[in-house]
């Protein structure tokens, strides 16, 4: 869900070419073609595209690994959001309505006030996402000699027997540190719209999406990716709605990397872009295949690595076609066939295609080793 564009200088807060999922793109003033065209150096272009590919792979890889633990979680608050086949079939329609609604919104109302509301919304959402992303790292990095106090945030309604809990959130000192760091990044983003702050939030959104959004089976994944494949191609090639909205939309829903970094340093402003949808949508399918690997109770992770390499191939092909033909490209046009086709071919060769399509998310727990039965001696010792 991204279109790729070549072009001119853009401000650091430039929105992506696609509202829901922008794509790998060179920054451009596509609106009127009056801006001076920026010609990046080969080194700058290679650095930008290579960095985008690396940043796309990180949340997919680590998000998929974390999704396995998330699926086995016994804590209801940590349970993932499961996408069913009905949800997958409706998603492209909902996405299209949202996209067109935003298009009308920006045509009728001032984009300044709309983007102000969006900034506040993503400020809060980004802080929570970044805090959750940093939590495992903080657990390892937190000094052992510092006290880790436990806290509880409790809101109730009523009194006596009619008292009802509205919010009951438990956290500790580590969580507070993560929250403080995330808040600093959020303030930086709101005030400066700097591309580094944008990427920190974008990576957090992508990793959380891959970790917490679960497809219930492979068929649902094929429906979702197939529907968004059509959505992406239609809105990129069929109309100007996506580009119009994207030029007016400011939010950390894309990863960006400057092509003029070598010339201007951190103040660079000619960006290549990759939308989060082009990471999260294939990413949740790749994470599903990792959980399928786990369910097979084998040491190998064949389907995960196959789909992961397929994603690299598809993203590389997107950049190659864009760079060759100098024209906007919907990334899912290349990512969807690669991410679905490669694992299916491997399953056919291994004779596991039926097992793949029969796999259900609930079967992951069956992959956990059963508890050992106690011997008579162990019972006697107890």
Active site residues: 232, 278
Q: Which DSSP category does 200 fall into?
A: H
Show Cβ contacts of residue 205 under 8 Å, excluding neighbours closer than 6 positions: 125, 126, 129, 252, 253, 276, 280
CA triplet 272, 339, 349: central angle to 5 degrees? 150
Q: Which of 209, 55, 210, 205 is nearest to 130 (CA)?
A: 205
Distance, in Å, from the CA atom of 270 to the CA atom of 12, rounded to the nearest integer, reads 8
Distance, in Å, from the CA atom of 189 to the CA atom of 130, rounded to the nearest integer, reads 13
Are 206 and 67 in contact by the 8 Å Cβ rule? The answer is no
Measured CA to CA in angstroms, residue 366 lies from 79, 233, 275, 354 at distances of 17, 39, 35, 18
DSSP string, 89-149: HHHHHHHHHHHHHHHHHHHHS-HHHHHHHHHHHHHHHHHHHHHHHHHHHHHHHS-TTS---
CA triplet 311, 316, 317: central angle to 5 degrees? 100
Distance, in Å, from the CA atom of 243 to the CA atom of 190, rounded to the nearest integer, reads 23
Distance, in Å, from the CA atom of 117 to the CA atom of 66, rounded to the nearest integer, reads 32
Distance, in Å, from the CA atom of 374 to the CA atom of 272, rounded to the nearest integer, reads 60
């Amino acid at each position: 869900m991204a279109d790729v564009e070549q072009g001119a200088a853009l401000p650091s807060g430039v929105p992506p070419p696609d509202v829901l999922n922008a794509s790998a793109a060179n920054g451009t003033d596509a609106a009127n073609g009056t801006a001076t065209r920026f010609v990046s150096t080969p080194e700058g272009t290679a650095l930008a595209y290579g960095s985008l590919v690396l940043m796309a792979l990180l949340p997919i890889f680590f998000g998929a690994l974390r999704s396995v633990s998330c699926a086995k979680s016994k804590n209801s608050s940590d349970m993932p959001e499961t996408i069913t086949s009905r949800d997958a079939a409706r998603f492209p329609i909902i996405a299209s309505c949202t996209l067109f609604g935003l298009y009308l919104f920006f045509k009728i109302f001032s984009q300044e006030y709309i983007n102000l509301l969006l900034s506040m919304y993503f400020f809060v959402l980004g802080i929570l996402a970044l805090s959750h992303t940093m939590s495992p790292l903080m657990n390892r990095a937190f000094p052992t000699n510092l006290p880790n106090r436990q806290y509880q945030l409790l809101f109730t309604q009523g009194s006596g027997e009619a008292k009802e809990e509205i919010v009951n959130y438990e956290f500790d000192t580590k969580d507070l540190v993560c929250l403080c760091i995330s808040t600093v990044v959020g303030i930086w983003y709101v005030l400066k719209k700097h591309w580094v702050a944008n990427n920190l939030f974008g990576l957090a959104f992508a990793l959380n999406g891959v970790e917490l959004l679960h497809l219930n089976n492979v068929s649902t994944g094929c429906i979702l990716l197939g529907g968004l494949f059509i959505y992406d191609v239609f809105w990129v090639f069929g109309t100007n709605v996506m580009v119009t909205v994207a030029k007016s939309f400011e939010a950390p829903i894309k990863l960006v990397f400057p092509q003029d970094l070598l010339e201007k340093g951190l103040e660079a402003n000619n960006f290549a872009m990759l939308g989060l949808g082009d990471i999260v949508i294939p990413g949740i399918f790749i994470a599903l295949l990792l959980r399928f690997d786990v369910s097979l109770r084998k040491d190998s992770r064949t389907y995960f690595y196959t789909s992961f390499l397929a994603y690299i191939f598809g993203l590389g092909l997107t950049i190659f076609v864009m760079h060759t033909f100098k024209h906007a490209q919907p990334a899912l046009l290349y990512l969807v066939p690669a991410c679905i086709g490669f694992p299916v071919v491997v399953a056919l060769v291994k004779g596991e295609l039926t097992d793949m399509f029969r796999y259900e998310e609930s079967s992951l727990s069956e992959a956990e080793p059963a508890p050992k039965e106690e011997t008579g001696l162990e019972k006697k010792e107890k």
